[in-house]
């Protein structure tokens, strides 16, 4: 039935619809540069969504945990074998994505008889020097984008754009870790709130997307975090250039977060 070309195009189109539906309730992921590295943040329920991949590489993901796990293992295998056979400096996010998992994701997406990966992936990489950060985000169809200061994952491109817009502004080299965690959390809240509104909007007005103006005022964003974080936890990790040893990844502990999170949030979490 899919032998005819237009049927195949139709099948791929259906797939997009199906996949878009899967991400509607997912938790957005934010990664952004700060003075000594990169912060990755999301709010998760149970299964983690932020992981260490290699010495200078970290991953954030959205989607089905089993699919994410499979791709995470692919990346880990690739990175470690490459790092051992060549050198750790040859393990770059860009190579991992372009020649590693992007083709795999694309192939799974287009093979309409098989199940696609229900994942969106973000790879963050710190350079030896400040300002040499790389951010890559891969969509469920294998398309990827590269950026220099930040990257986000959310249910739709539109929401991702809004989140990225909120992160623009100050120079990342001057942003302290505390400021970066605050900015990442506000961007997460903005994305999550837009996603929820989109779902509510659909319920109320049929399939029309919610077009409510996205207010970016800080108190309302923190109020949203306080509402949602009760039964979940804030997951945050850094790639920190100033860390000793070759592995630069460090997951922030609840104690670290207690110090770094904005005050209005701290009380509701403790």
Partner 1 sequence: MGMQGDFFQLLKTQGYQFGVAAEGSHDQQVTTATTILAFKYRDGVLVAGDRRATAGNMVMYDRTDKVLEIDRHSVMAIAGVPATAYEMVRILEHSFKYYRRTQLQELSFEGKLRAVSKLLKENVAAALAGTGAVAPIFAGYDFEQESAKIYFYDILGAEFEGVEYAVSGSGSPTIRGILHYVNTWGDQPLSVMTEEQSAVQALRLLTSAAEFDSATGGVNREANLYPVVKLITAKGIKTLAEADLKHTFEASVSRRG
CB 50 → partner 1: shortest distance, Å?
A: 11
Beta-carbon contacts of 202 under 8 Å, excluding residues fewer than 6 positions away, are: 208, 209, 210
Burial group, residue 201, by CB count within 10 angstroms (0-12, 13-18, 19+):
middle
Q: State phi, psi for 26 to the nearest 5 degrees.
A: -70, 160
Instruction: Write down how long the chain is.
Output: 270
CB 250 → partner 1: shortest distance, Å?
A: 11
Which is nearer to partner 1, 54 or 140 (by Cβ)? 54
The Cα–Cα gap between 143 and 124 comes to 16
Nearest to 102 by CA among 54, 143, 66: 143
Which is nearer to partner 1, 91 or 187 (by Cβ)? 91
Residue 153 in contact with residue 61, Cβ under 8 Å? Answer: yes
CB 58 → partner 1: shortest distance, Å?
A: 10
CB 90 → partner 1: shortest distance, Å?
A: 13
Which is nearer to partner 1, 190 or 239 (by Cβ)? 239
Binding residues (CB under 8 A) for partner 1: these are: 48, 51-55, 73, 76-77, 80-81, 83-84, 244-245, 247
């Amino acid at each position: 039935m899919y032998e005819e070309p237009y049927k195949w195009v139709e099948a791929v189109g259906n797939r997009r619809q199906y996949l878009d539906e899967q991400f509607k309730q997912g938790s957005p992921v934010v990664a952004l540069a700060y003075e000594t590295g990169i912060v990755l943040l999301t709010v998760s329920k149970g299964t983690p969504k932020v992981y260490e991949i290699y010495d200078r590489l970290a991953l954030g993901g959205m989607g089905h945990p089993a699919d994410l796990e499979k791709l995470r293992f692919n990346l880990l295998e690739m990175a470690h074998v490459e790092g051992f056979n060549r050198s750790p400096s040859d393990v770059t996010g860009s190579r991992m994505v372009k020649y590693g998992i992007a083709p795999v994701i694309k192939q799974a997406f287009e093979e309409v008889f098989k199940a696609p990966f229900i994942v969106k992936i973000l790879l963050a990489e710190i350079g030896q020097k400040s300002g040499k950060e790389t951010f890559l985000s891969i969509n469920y169809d294998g398309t990827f984008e590269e950026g220099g200061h930040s990257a986000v994952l959310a249910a739709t491109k539109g929401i991702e754009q809004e989140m990225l817009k909120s992160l623009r502004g100050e120079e990342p080299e001057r942003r302290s870790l505390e400021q970066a965690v605050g900015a990442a959390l506000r961007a997460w809240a903005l994305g999550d709130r837009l996603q929820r509104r989109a779902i509510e909007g659909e319920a109320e007005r049929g399939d029309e997307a919610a077009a409510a103006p996205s207010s970016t005022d800080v108190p309302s964003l923190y109020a949203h975090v306080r509402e949602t974080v009760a039964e979940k936890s804030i997951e945050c990790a850094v790639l920190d250039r100033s860390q000793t040893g070759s592995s630069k990844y460090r997951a922030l502990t609840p104690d670290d977060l207690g110090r770094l999170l904005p005050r209005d949030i701290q009380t509701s979490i403790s």
